Structure 1
């Protein structure tokens, strides 16, 4: 009998923010897939979930190239897919851990698409996205009343970021680490800088909260950095 694949959101960083359902799923896994990039050792998602993992659970690290999709070269993705399939066909329950929520800007989405048409059972377990945790940690309302929330990946071309900021009531800016200076300038131009709060590694031991984002110009931000703002 084939095993089951679980896509598990482990939340933003604090192990206590995993859902009960996520913890229960982790405890029944035979194998955990821990995604990592080519440049870094270890897995943040695995570290967050570590206290809930059984000692006998096998940990399999898989490298996923940080590219937009995988149309040009899917060699690594296909290799990872095959490894997961073999584990499932061996009757093992396999969990794929992901930061935040599995269906929100996640590597898991691509893994799910590769496997969804195979003869395997898949269950996706939601997690708390970082921006929700940041709102609570800083007592910052994310959106209320009849306002509209825009979620903006700040690594898009600047003209698209600028266009999104011009029309938003409230905004969450993800992936601000690559072009933070330009993002801070755009927020100032649109009158969105003074109300902004920036959080890096929210929920982790080295969490940083910044309420004056203008002072962050010229500084390198952590990959796990997000800005909340509103008009």
Structure 2
């Protein structure tokens, strides 16, 4: 039997937000690839999918380092690719779990590119992005009418962030954990702070909602944090 590889978005945190198709494939999996960083023993994506995982499935936790050293990254990626390909050669139905949507700021994108020419079928199953779940949870419309929405990684260069904030109507700021002080200042500068809200670990037990962004200054912000804002 030929192996097949699935990339599955598990959404931001609530297991009930997985699609019916995602649940169906998870329940039929032979192997589940659960990505994690070196600093953590557990996979958040796996914990979200846990209610649908059958007892006898093989769980393979692969480390995807969050480092900038190219040699370390290359070694890790090559090792992970070989592990997955060996499972596919054995005819396994292999699924890769990822937070949010697989094609949106996801580790899965790199895995997909590594495997797409390996000769095995790949199917990608979308998931609910964090900012969509946040908007629904808080009753916070993301865009209306002819609004322009910008999705900005806060880790981008200050010049790129400034340019986007200067012209957009509404904004989703991802990855705000590294430079939240600067981001809050920029939102004030471009009149985008009045209706801003940050939510961390949306749908997870440790979820936190912050409406006073100035109170974030000097704090350590969780990696899974997103800011929604609109010009006011």
Question: What is the TM-score with the length of structure 1 in the denominator?
Answer: 0.97
Q: Is the 8 A contact 1:194 1:212 kept in 2?
A: no
Question: What is the TM-score with the length of structure 2 in the denominator?
Answer: 0.96
In structure 2, what is the Cα distance between the partners aligned to 1:118 and 1:69? 26
What's the CA shift for 1:161? 1.1
- Residue correspondence of structure 1 range 122-133 to structure 2 within 5 A: 122-133=122-133
What's the CA shift for 1:158? 1.6
- Residue correspondence of structure 1 range 69-80 to structure 2 within 5 A: 73-80=73-80
Report the number of matched residues. Answer: 231
1:225 maps to which residue?
225
In structure 2, what is the Cα distance between the partners aligned to 1:117 and 1:219? 44
1:167 maps to which residue?
167
In structure 1, what is the Cα distance between the partners aligned to 2:136 and 2:171? 15
- Residue correspondence of structure 1 range 38-187 to structure 2 within 5 A: 38-67=38-67, 73-187=73-187
Describe the SS at the equivalent of 2:178: coil
Describe the SS at the equivalent of 1:61: strand
Where structure 2 has 5 or more consecutive residues not aligned to the other structure, the ranges are none
Where structure 1 has 5 or more consecutive residues not aligned to the other structure, the ranges are none
Describe the SS at the equivalent of 1:128: coil
In structure 2, what is the Cα distance between the partners aligned to 1:73 and 1:198? 31
1:16 maps to which residue?
16
* Gap change, CA 1:36 and 1:57, over 3 Å in 2: same
What's the CA shift for 1:66? 2.1
* Gap change, CA 1:70 and 1:93, over 3 Å in 2: farther
- Residue correspondence of structure 1 range 177-216 to structure 2 within 5 A: 177-216=177-216
In structure 2, what is the Cα distance between the partners aligned to 1:69 and 1:169? 37
Residues 150-172 of structure 1: CA distance to partner in whole angstroms, max 9, x if unpaired? 00000112222112111111110
